[in-house]
Amino acid sequence: MNQGIGSVMRNAQRLFGVTNHHCIDVDVWQHLTPDELKERHLTAADVEKESQKYNCNRPLGLNF
C-alpha cells in the first residue's frame, strides 16, 4: 500500500481531493446499525480496521 506506483497514484488522488472508493464504503458502514453490519458479515472492528488501512480519517488535499 505504501510502495510503488500504486502508492504514488493514491497519494496524487488524495492531493487532488479524490476520495478512495474504500473510504466511501467505510463511511456507509459507519452509519449502519449493528444488525445491518451483521447482515453484511461485518463488525465495528472490521470497519475501523478498513478505515485505518486506507487512511480514511486523513483529510483530502495537501496537509502537513
pLDDT tens profile 8-62: 887 787 778 777 888 899 999 999 999 999 999 999 999 999 999 888 887 766 6
Half-sphere exposure of residue 31: CA atoms within 13 angstroms, side-chain side: 5
Query: Would the pLDDT of 63 be above 70?
Result: no
pLDDT at 1: 61
Band the pLDDT of 2: cuts 50, 70, 90: low
Assess contact for 53 and 47: CB atoms under 8 A.
no
Average pLDDT along the chain: 85
**Is pTM beyond 0.85 here?**
no
DSSP helix/strand/coil, 41 = coil
CA 38 vs CA 18, 23, 51, 56, 61: distances in Å: 29, 19, 18, 22, 34
Packing angle, helices 21-30 and 44-53, rounded to 10: 150
